[in-house]
Amino acid sequence: GPTPARQYSLFLTNNGGLERQQPLNSSGHSSYVFDPGSPTPSVGGASFNPWNAGIKDQKVLEARSDVLSFTLPPLQEDL
């Protein structure tokens, strides 16, 4: 059967990262302003549109001022 799931805690950092250890300085904040007249488009993932489905480059969307993105460094081992 499948390997049992394990729970992990990840912590947001002030510089857009994710860490396994809780940061010592957790006083930062992140914010954005949502404009309903210019919603963030959906690119990739589950879609009924075969030209938009699957893995897609998200760099253009992540660069928008109304998107927050937090990233882990490349994994050195399986979670």
Strands (E), 1-59: 11-12, 18-19
CB neighbour list of residue 53: distance below 8 Å, 6 or more residues apart: 44, 45, 46, 47
pTM value is: 0.60
Say yes or no to pLDDT of 79 above 80.
no
- Number of neighbours of residue 23 by Cβ within 10 angstroms: 13
Over pLDDT 70: what percentage of the chain? 96
pLDDT in tens, 14-52: 778 888 888 777 667 788 898 999 998 888 888 888 888
CB neighbour list of residue 23: distance below 8 Å, 6 or more residues apart: 11, 13, 14
What dihedral do alpha carbons 64, 16, 75, 47 form, nearest 10°? -30
